[in-house]
Amino acid sequence: MLKFAKQLFTWWNSQTISTRISTSLFGKRVGVDEFGNQYYTTKSENNNKPIKRWVIYNGYADSSKVPAKWHSWLHNVVNEVPNEDASSHKSWIKSHTPNLTGSSSAYRPPGSLGNKEVNKSQNDYQPWNPAE
């Protein structure tokens, strides 16, 4: 029941009811990535309408969870659906890290106002004093 309520009133938790209905009526599942995101395209290939491609996120809708090969497919850079063969995985490719912007784990460079670890001894700022 809670899952249904989330789908009814929120768009950032997986898919909404309208997306679920339109996907079941007009969508054809073409693949799933390593994060569990499901990728769809329109069923009919009518020449008058362009083929649409979309993703249903697994859990929280975070666009940074879309791998590069699926991103290029979603944006019509490539037409072939990405596959999960091990030969395409390179040893130097880093694993996914979520977008941490706005969270307590976000990157804050030295000297940032949000950085709580500011070293007062390295403070280079000297305010202007008009009396001097």
Match 């989330």 to its residue by tokens. 6
What pLDDT digit, counting tens, does each position of 6-59 carry?
Answer: 666 665 666 777 788 888 888 999 999 988 999 999 987 666 778 899 999 888
Question: 85-125: per-residue pLDDT in tens?
Answer: 655 667 887 777 778 888 888 888 877 777 766 555 556 67
Predicted TM-score (pTM) of this structure: 0.65
- Measure Cα distances from 68 to 45, 71, 74, 82, 96 in Å: 25, 5, 10, 10, 11
* Dihedral of alpha carbons 56, 59, 65, 67, sign: negative
CA dist 63 and 81 (Å) reads 19
User: What is residue 41's predicted lDDT score, i.e. its pLDDT?
Assistant: 93
Best CA proximity match to 38, nearest among 18, 17, 2, 65: 65
Contacts of 51 by beta carbon, 8 Å cutoff, 6+ apart: 41, 42, 45
- As a whole number of angstroms, the distance between CA 117 and CA 49 comes to 55
